[in-house]
Structure 1
């Protein structure tokens, strides 16, 4: 046996051992996260897909759709309980995130997600709910309104990604969505990145405001770091721009009452790029500019969000519970 062969063999064994250890650490991190943050609601099976939803309250049906990297806990931290005083609130995990299964491994499109959630809402007894989407979830809500117009009564777009933009993917998403690099890198992230790193990212998303007390511990950063969630989220983000480019010229077809809320200091999804042209395109849409607010108005401008939902419900002929 030559020295070169011995070195190659040792290197191969080291690589395999390292990979086994990384996968072990990743599985352990995932198990800890799921034990600490189990599903808050119920699991429905919709055409073979497991969909997680939290349902609370009574009144007109209202669906809440979270943004990128999130889960039901973003909406159930404080907004959904407040709205449940007047509405029957359904908060979904989007496919691949939280406890809703992935639709596919290529990155479920906003239209596919909207269709699945619309069918899940119908299965839960909500035939024509008010639909609110935040950030990436705003794009899903818009796809719902365009492609399933008979299956909602009103629309609320909150800091929503609506129109094409010029900036490219961040390095993180380029790597994690890459067909070869993503599956190699993601297990290392799951295995070795601490939940505190996600908490730091949360702080940047809330800027210039701060996250409310208890939010970072409640929102389950460990669920975001699971391998399948990182990959699903990365693929969805990588595909979002071309999907928006394909859909955005159809927003003028939206005929349901629409409220659009967007912070003037939102540096994640820009007001002038997204909300302002969207408001001009949808007939009779009402745009509320939230002065000084960043990307997370559902937490830092909650009164404005709740007021907009009540307005759009009245415009749709619905009657929130007193």
Structure 2
């Protein structure tokens, strides 16, 4: 009995230390990379937005476990010379509140972000989405066809796949994983680990100099962000299965951009197929480029947005 009591006390002490370290890590991340924009509230859910530039409205939606800082590093400043750019943190990520229960799917996220954009004066913006954010942009186009002027999916997840969900997300999307594994990750995984992993995300190109310092890896390691991202990723495949038969109904000008060497979101499965599913869609293939064209081919992505604006009669 005494040994058991000692073990329980040690376990309780370790868990208290873990929670303290996790809270300290989160506080450091938020102090070094505070919100840079403003907040709008949609039915009680706060959405964080950064707005820059002037001209026709352009909404930009970041990818998995990201935030507005991903798109504000290179691409948004380029486009701010032509558009009023609105960067939105997806629900549960960056500094946006989690979506209400039952609204965390890509359709629910699209509705929240669409309504946030309307509050910011963007009634019918061009909508650009990268990776997971591209799936949200596609849901926006399908479910709210009168609330966008053009669509720009960049390395967007769009069609059903057969590869299994990553082990990390299989664990952290469960109740036990969210309660136990997530605090351990936040407490003991250093920002430097995430910074080193960025090269895998950018491959075959390296992560640009200064990107990790701008992006703030610690923001992605917060408990709330890890849990929201895991839930999003765990349900995405089924949501895509339900959404993709409706791409044929998308009627706005669509410019698709994707690197041919993307190991995260397969070029042929997702973008080449998508270009045949959306009437009039134009595909820009980027030979040799990986999953992050918004950084390593930013000018080409910007050109696609400008074409979409011209096709939509906005330029």
TM-score of the two chains, using structure 1 as the length reference: 0.96
How much is the aligned-residue C-alpha RMSD, in angstroms?
1.0
Separation in 2, partners of 1:16, 1:31? 23
Task: Give 1:100 deviation, angstroms.
Answer: 0.3
Moved over 3 A (4+): 104-107
Alignment of 1:226-265 (within 5 A): 226-265=222-261
Q: Name which of 304, 310, 314 aligns with 1:308.
A: 304
Q: Name which of 78, 81, 86 aligns with 2:77.
A: 81
Q: Name which of 236, 259, 273 aligns with 1:277.
A: 273
Task: Give 1:231 deviation, angstroms.
Answer: 0.6
Task: Give 1:173 deviation, angstroms.
Answer: 1.0
Separation in 1, partners of 2:46, 2:304? 31
2:182 maps to 1:186? yes
Q: Quick check: 1:263–1:291 contact (8 Å CA) kept in 2?
A: yes
Separation in 2, partners of 1:128, 1:216? 33
Q: Quick check: 1:107–1:236 contact (8 Å CA) kept in 2?
A: no
Alignment of 1:120-199 (within 5 A): 120-199=116-195
Q: Name which of 11, 36, 61 aligns with 2:57.
A: 61
Q: Quick check: 2:128–2:152 contact (8 Å CA) kept in 1?
A: yes
Q: Quick check: 2:103–2:109 contact (8 Å CA) kept in 1?
A: no
- Relative to structure 1, is the Cα distance of residues 105 and 7 closer, same or farther in structure 2, using a 3 angstrom cutoff? farther
Deviations 1:170-229, CA, capped at 9 Å, x for gaps: 111111112212320110110110001111221101011112221011101000000010
Separation in 2, partners of 1:286, 1:8? 66
Larger-gyration structure (1/2): 1
Separation in 2, partners of 1:107, 1:240? 13
Query: Aligned residue for 2:66?
Result: 70
Q: Name which of 90, 94, 108 aligns with 1:98.
A: 94
List runs of 5+ in structure 1 lacking aligned partners.
none
Separation in 1, partners of 2:34, 2:40? 15
Q: Quick check: 2:131–2:154 contact (8 Å CA) kept in 1?
A: yes
Query: Aligned residue for 1:299?
Result: 295
Aligned length: 315
Deviations 1:135-191, CA, capped at 9 Å, x for gaps: 000000000000011110000000000000000111111111122123201101101
Deviations 1:268-308, CA, capped at 9 Å, x for gaps: 00011100111101000001111110000000111110110
2:12 maps to 1:16? yes
Does the residue aligned with 1:190 lie in a helix, a strand or coil?
helix
Does the residue aligned with 1:299 lie in a helix, a strand or coil?
helix
Q: Quick check: 1:61–1:88 contact (8 Å CA) kept in 2?
A: yes
Q: Quick check: 1:66–1:92 contact (8 Å CA) kept in 2?
A: yes
Q: Quick check: 1:107–1:235 contact (8 Å CA) kept in 2?
A: no
Task: Give 1:44 deviation, angstroms.
Answer: 1.2
Does the residue aligned with 1:95 lie in a helix, a strand or coil?
coil
TM-score of the two chains, using structure 2 as the length reference: 0.98
- Structure 1 residues 53-62 or 7-16, which shifts more? 7-16
Q: Quick check: 2:205–2:296 contact (8 Å CA) kept in 1?
A: yes
Task: Give 1:108 deviation, angstroms.
Answer: 1.1
Separation in 2, partners of 1:275, 1:143? 15
Separation in 2, partners of 1:211, 1:105? 35
Separation in 2, partners of 1:219, 1:24? 24
Separation in 1, partners of 2:254, 2:143? 15
Alignment of 1:213-224 (within 5 A): 213-224=209-220
Q: Name which of 25, 29, 40 aligns with 1:44.
A: 40
